[in-house]
């Protein structure tokens, strides 16, 4: 590439002004892509053609920054973050990149010039749903903040051909549809057919003596798969830094085909190809629940191996020795899904790069950080030893060796404490043997963190207690955050404009500055404008609800919203019990002066999670009855919004009055939807769980509707013996609600349909809905009272937004950078490529 003079530019200026781009240039570029990329004349262009042309026009503006950023990845002294995650729930790119380039208005005008409405194009974009829920979305927010803070970083993951399924609702039940997100092509990715690595599976190992007389292990696999890099540029907000997300697609290795081909086994060769490509075919649709399938372990190892090989190649490209690898890279393990990386890096260093064990272990232990995202026992990953040995025989040897050395150290510190040693071991040996991935991650990392204060404290006292006692200095908290670019500026332009009109736009990068809004909470004119923005957002959502469900809702009613994955611990059915309670009040007293509410639910259930799917059916069944009962007279509406995803989330959060964050205390590690709602001016009804605790701390107890048991109380009551039935028997309203569901009232007279749900509440109630019921209902009554005083409510909403600064992912990423990764910003200097670049 021809390099001309290097030129420093003002990073606060937009692309348009920086490169002298004008609207005319933008229009020309747009039309060129329409013609040369899509092969269309303006008159015959479809919506997709226009979208593609717009996407390429915007992408062109990213590439100059991208090449300059990537150039610095292999500059000595620039430490790079490698963020390993099995999921990245990015959401649509076009609007976000326009925001970060600061050319939103210009592109809007350019598209109007070709006779196409920008919103139609934004709606047309298929989102990359390469994640399930909170964990995947967090990874996406973190990529945005890393780039915005000018931290050199690469996200590494899997390019699933099919992401999270599309949800349809038929007869009230969830139906899963394949997510064919690549059907119309993906203008945001750049395939790198020359960036490939081989990944081995299966086979066996054998010992041998190397030239120096050292004992080594040689792994002879029975399968080899190739990973191919697909890169997506990740631009920061109004900066030159444009990082990349590198996703791996699995392909067959040709040499393997030939072996079969030569003996005439054409079918076998094709089978091999199909088999290899299976690895990156589909995202496992489970959130917080493991399936234990071999293909899932194959996916994990596949992307981890490709990513580590890639980082090693980049490291060697700067000419430094691998013993300094941890000085050039900081690698974060997003949950245990990539934790086989600990064994794989050891294998690469020791077996492939002939490093001695102790040096390799030093490098490994200093390069990794591990983030834990859950305390739920069913979500803690363990792999049956058999399965692990068959797929990754060499890694099992390495894990045994790590374990042997580790437990020797433990025995010195805790002599004769066999119970503790058994708990710390990387291998679970009670009954069937398992590899414990969290233990592997802990032993192989320099830093371990939880995702909210309460969660980190619980980690230290429960699931990772033994590790905390061993290495207290490794533990820290990093409360989650979300990016205000996507979750405020892009999704809530009305609110953004209003805030800008009073305090400017500095808050978009320094969210703490929202504090300056506090003084407007008492300003009548401001409150009226605030209410108008909220009403506008509610009207827009009402239109979308009508389009998607056929249900018409009243924008003047309170929008009470719970959107998140469906899980018993998140207690969507507690919300349903409240709805049924309100309904019973109306049936008992048809003239009741009740605050009109629209209760909106949304979220996907894991396809194999029976109870979660039954909860969806219950919501829809209750909705059917309540929405059609003339006695209700618009005082209560229930909606299940189908196919909740990033795209619909962007229209839902801004329209909420009330945010439901009602998990059993101690079960939700952090939550991030809670932050998105509050940033958009919704008030929270919630338990003292996850980040709710800190949100309440920030916005003030007066501006948060708290109910329910604390995590401590939950644990105590459980240990003393919890009896849900006695609560049911002693609370008439609760009994009436449960009985109505159990009677078949919502299931056309069929008492069996919801019996599993009712029975699980009456006889187990693992998540203590009954214990929290009355406190929840009372709290909801306080919510309704508060909403009647619309000025007071708006004041509280403004204060919520004003005090959300802490929950920017920029704050979270700054903490990771300083305390875990030890990386600092690298200002990307733009290079003038002369005629090469527009």
Residue nearest to ligand Z57 (CB): 134
Contact, 535 vs 790, CB < 8 A?
Answer: no
In terms of DSSP bridges, do strands 129-130 and 329-334 run parallel, antiparallel, or are they unpaired? unpaired
> CB of residue 482 vs ligand Z57: minimum separation in angstroms?
10
Element of type H or E holding 81: strand 80-84
Residues with Cβ within 8 Å of residue 732, at least 6 apart in sequence? none
Nearest to 651 by CA among 761, 545, 500, 724: 545
The total number of residues written for the chain in this structure: 838
Q: 758's torsion region: left (phi>0), alpha (psi -120 to 50) or beta?
A: alpha
Region for residue 483 given its phi and psi (left: phi exceeds 0; alpha: psi -120 to 50; beta: otherwise): beta
Catalytic member of 564, 613, 667, 803: 564
- Would you tell me which residues interact with ligand Z57 (CB under 6 A)? 132-135, 138, 287-288, 335, 373-374, 379, 451, 480, 668-672, 690
Query: In the bound complex, what is the minimum distance in angstroms from residue 569's beta carbon to ligand Z57?
Result: 9
Does 69 qualify as catalytic in the annotation? no
Least distance (Å) from ligand Z57 to the CB of residue 295?
17
In whole angstroms, how close is the CB of 110 to ligand Z57 at the nearest point? Answer: 37
What does the DSSP assignment read for 553-622?
--TTSEEEEEES---GGGTHHHHHHHHHHHHHHHHH-TT-----EEEEEE----TT-HHHHHHHHHHHHH
Distance separating alpha carbons of residues 439 and 759, to the nearest angstrom: 36
Q: Toward ligand Z57, which CB reaches closer, 305 or 674?
A: 674
Are the C-beta atoms of 97 and 58 separated by less than 8 Å? yes
Active-site option among 65, 337, 676, 811: 676
By beta-carbon proximity to ligand Z57, the closer residue of 38 and 374 is 374
Residue 672 is a catalytic residue: yes
For residue 638, the surrounding DSSP H or E stretch is strand 636-641
Q: What's the closest the beta carbon of residue 822 comes to ligand Z57, in angstroms?
A: 22
CB of 659 to ligand Z57, least distance (A): 14
**If we measure between CA atoms, which residue out of 600, 603, 662, 602 comes closest to residue 637?**
600
In 695-809 the beta strands, taken as DSSP E runs, fall at 705-706
Structure tokens at 821: 């990764």
What's the Cα-to-Cα distance from 563 to each of 166, 452, 676, rounded to whole Å? Answer: 15, 20, 11
For residue 134, give both structure tokens.
Answer: 């909170």
Q: 374 or 572, CB closer to ligand Z57?
A: 374
Q: Given the complex with ligand Z57, which of 56 and 160 has the nearer CB atom?
A: 160
565, 571, 573, 811: which one is catalytic?
Answer: 565
Which residue lies nearer to ligand Z57 by CB, 455 or 527?
455
Task: Provide CB contacts within 8 A for 609, sequence distance 6+.
Answer: 286, 289, 566, 567
Give min distance, CB of 655 to ligand Z57, in A: 22
Active site residue 581: no
Which among 478, 570, 597, 811 is annotated as catalytic?
A: 570
| Closest approach of ligand Z57 to the CB of residue 335, in Å | 5
Q: Are 353 and 343 in contact (CB under 8 A)?
A: no
Given the complex with ligand Z57, which of 40 and 137 has the nearer CB atom?
137
Is residue 565 flagged as an active site residue? yes
Q: Do β-strands 475-477 and 129-130 pair in parallel, antiparallel, or remain unpaired?
A: unpaired
Of the CA atoms within 13 Å of residue 768, those in its CB half-sphere come to 24
Q: Which is nearer to ligand Z57, 434 or 728 (CB)?
A: 434
User: Contact, 443 vs 435, CB < 8 A?
Assistant: no
Smallest separation, CB 287 to ligand Z57 (Å): 5
Question: Known catalytic residue: 549?
Answer: no
CA angle, 137 as apex, 136 and 143 as ends, to 5°?
A: 95
Quickly list H helices, 629-731: 646-652, 673-679, 692-699, 711-720, 724-730
Q: How far is the CB of 370 from ligand Z57 (least distance, A)?
A: 12
The two three-digit tokens of residue 351, written as one number: 């077996």
CA distance 722 to 764: 9
Taking the complex as a whole, the smallest distance from the CB of residue 552 to ligand Z57 amounts, in Å, to 33
Q: Which lies closer to ligand Z57 via its Cβ, residue 673 or residue 724? A: 673
Cβ neighbours of residue 803 under 8 Å, at least 6 residues apart? 514, 515, 518, 698, 699, 700, 703
Q: Is 124 helix (H, G, I), strand (E, B) or coil?
A: helix
Closer residue to ligand Z57 in complex, CB, 349/691: 691
Cα-based distances in Å from 88 to 83, 148, 389, 482, 521: 10, 17, 29, 14, 37
Residue 107 or residue 669: which is nearer to ligand Z57 going by CB?
A: 669
Q: Locate 626 and state its tokens.
A: 């309540």
**What's the closest the beta carbon of residue 138 comes to ligand Z57, in angstroms?**
4
Angle at which helix 572-588 crosses helix 769-788, to 10 degrees, equals 60
Does residue 347 contact residue 394 with C-beta atoms inside 8 Å? Answer: yes
- The residue annotated as part of the active site, out of 137, 238, 249, 373, is 373
Output 549 or 672, the one with its CB closest to ligand Z57: 672
Q: How far is the CB of 644 from ligand Z57 (least distance, A)?
A: 14
226 strand-pairing partners: 198, 251
Closest CA to 115 of 17, 165, 42: 42
Nearest 5°: phi and psi at 590? -60, -20
Beta carbon nearer to ligand Z57, 138 or 396 = 138
CB nearer ligand Z57, residue 326 or residue 565: 565
Catalytic residues: 373, 564-565, 570, 672, 676
């Amino acid at each position: 590439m021809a390099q001309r003079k290097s030129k420093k530019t003002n990073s606060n200026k937009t692309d348009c002004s920086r490169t002298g781009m004008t609207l005319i240039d933008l229009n020309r570029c747009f039309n060129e892509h329409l013609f040369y990329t899509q092969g269309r004349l303006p008159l015959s262009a479809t919506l997709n053609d226009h979208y593609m042309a717009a996407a390429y026009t915007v992408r062109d503006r990213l590439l100059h920054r991208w090449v300059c950023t990537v150039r610095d990845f292999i500059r000595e002294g620039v430490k790079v973050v490698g963020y390993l995650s099995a999921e990245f729930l990015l959401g649509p790119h076009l609007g976000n990149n326009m925001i970060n380039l600061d050319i939103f208005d210009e592109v809007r005008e350019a598209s109007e010039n070709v006779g196409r409405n920008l919103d139609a194009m934004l709606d047309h974009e298929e989102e990359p749903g390469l994640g399930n829920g909170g964990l995947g979305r967090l990874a996406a927010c973190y990529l945005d903040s890393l780039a915005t803070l000018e931290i050199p970083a690469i996200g590494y993951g899997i390019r699933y051909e099919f992401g999270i399924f599309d949800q349809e609702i038929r007869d009230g039940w969830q139906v899963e549809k394949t997510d064919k997100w690549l059907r119309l092509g993906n203008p945001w990715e750049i395939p790198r057919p020359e960036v490939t690595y081989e990944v081995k599976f299966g086979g066996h190992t054998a010992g041998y003596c190397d030239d120096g007389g050292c004992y080594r292990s040689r792994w002879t696999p029975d399968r080899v798969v190739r990973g191919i890099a697909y890169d997506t540029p990740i631009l920061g907000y109004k900066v030159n830094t444009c990082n990349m997300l590198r996703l791996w697609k699995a392909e067959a290795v040709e040499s393997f085909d030939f072996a079969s081909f030569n003996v005439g086994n054409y079918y076998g060769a094709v089978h091999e190809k199909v088999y290899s490509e299976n690895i990156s075919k589909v995202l496992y649709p489970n959130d917080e629940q493991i399936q234990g399938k071999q293909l899932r372990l194959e996916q994990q190892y596949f992307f981890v191996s490709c990513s580590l090989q890639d980082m090693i190649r980049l490291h060697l490209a700067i000419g430094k020795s691998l013993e300094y690898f941890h000085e050039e890279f900081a690698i974060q393990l997003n949950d245990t899904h990539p934790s086989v990386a600990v064994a794989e890096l050891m294998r690469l260093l020791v077996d492939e790069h002939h490093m001695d064990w102790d040096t390799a272990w030093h490098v490994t232990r200093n390069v990794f950080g591990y983030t834990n995202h859950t305390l739920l026992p069913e979500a803690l990953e363990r792999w049956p030893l058999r399965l692990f040995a068959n797929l990754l025989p060499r890694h099992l040897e390495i894990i045994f060796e790590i374990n042997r050395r580790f437990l020797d150290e433990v025995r010195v510190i805790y002599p004769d404490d066999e119970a503790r040693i058994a708990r710390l071991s990387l291998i679970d040996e009670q009954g069937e043997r398992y590899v414990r991935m969290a233990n592997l991650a802990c032993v192989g990392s320099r830093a371990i963190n939880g995702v909210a204060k309460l969660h980190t404290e619980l980690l230290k006292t429960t699931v990772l207690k033994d590790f905390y006692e061993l290495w207290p200095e490794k533990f820290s908290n990093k409360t989650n955050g979300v990016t205000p670019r996507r979750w405020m500026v892009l999704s809530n332009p009305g609110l953004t404009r209003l805030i800008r009109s009073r305090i400017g736009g500095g808050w978009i990068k320094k969210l703490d500055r929202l504090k300056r809004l506090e003084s407007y909470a008492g300003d009548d004119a401001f409150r009226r404008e605030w209410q108008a923005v909220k009403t506008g957002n509610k009207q827009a959502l009402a239109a979308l609800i009508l389009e998607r469900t056929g249900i018409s809702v009243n924008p003047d009613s309170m929008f009470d919203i719970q959107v998140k994955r469906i899980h018993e611990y998140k207690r969507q059915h507690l919300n349903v019990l409240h709805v049924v309670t309100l309904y019973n009040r109306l049936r008992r007293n048809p003239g009741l002066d009740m605050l009109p509410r629209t209760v909106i639910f949304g979220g996907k259930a894991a396809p194999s999670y029976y109870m979660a799917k039954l909860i969806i059916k219950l919501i829809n069944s209750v909705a059917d009855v309540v929405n059609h009962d003339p006695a209700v007279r618009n005082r209560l509406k229930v909606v299940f919004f189908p196919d909740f995803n990033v795209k619909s989330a962007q229209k839902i959060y801004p329209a909420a009055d009330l945010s439901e964050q009602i998990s059993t205390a101690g079960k939700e590690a952090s939550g991030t939807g809670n932050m998105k709602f509050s940033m958009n001016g919704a008030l929270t009804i919630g338990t003292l769980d996850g980040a709710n605790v800190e949100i309440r701390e920030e916005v003030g107890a007066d501006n948060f509707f708290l109910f329910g048991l604390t995590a401590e109380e939950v644990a105590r009551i459980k240990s003393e013996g919890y009896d849900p039935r006695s609560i049911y028997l002693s609370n008439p309203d609760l009994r009436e609600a449960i009985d109505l569901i159990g009677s078949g009232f919502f299931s056309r007279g069929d008492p069996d349909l919801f019996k599993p749900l009712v029975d699980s509440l009456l006889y187990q109630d693992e998540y203590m809905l009954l214990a929290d019921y009355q406190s929840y209902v009372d709290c909801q009554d306080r919510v309704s009272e508060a909403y009647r005083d619309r000025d007071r409510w708006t004041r509280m909403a403004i204060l919520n937004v004003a005090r959300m600064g802490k929950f920017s992912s920029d704050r979270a990423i700054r903490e990771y950078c300083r305390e875990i990764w030890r990386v600092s910003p690298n200002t990307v200097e733009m290079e003038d490529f002369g005629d090469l670049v527009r």
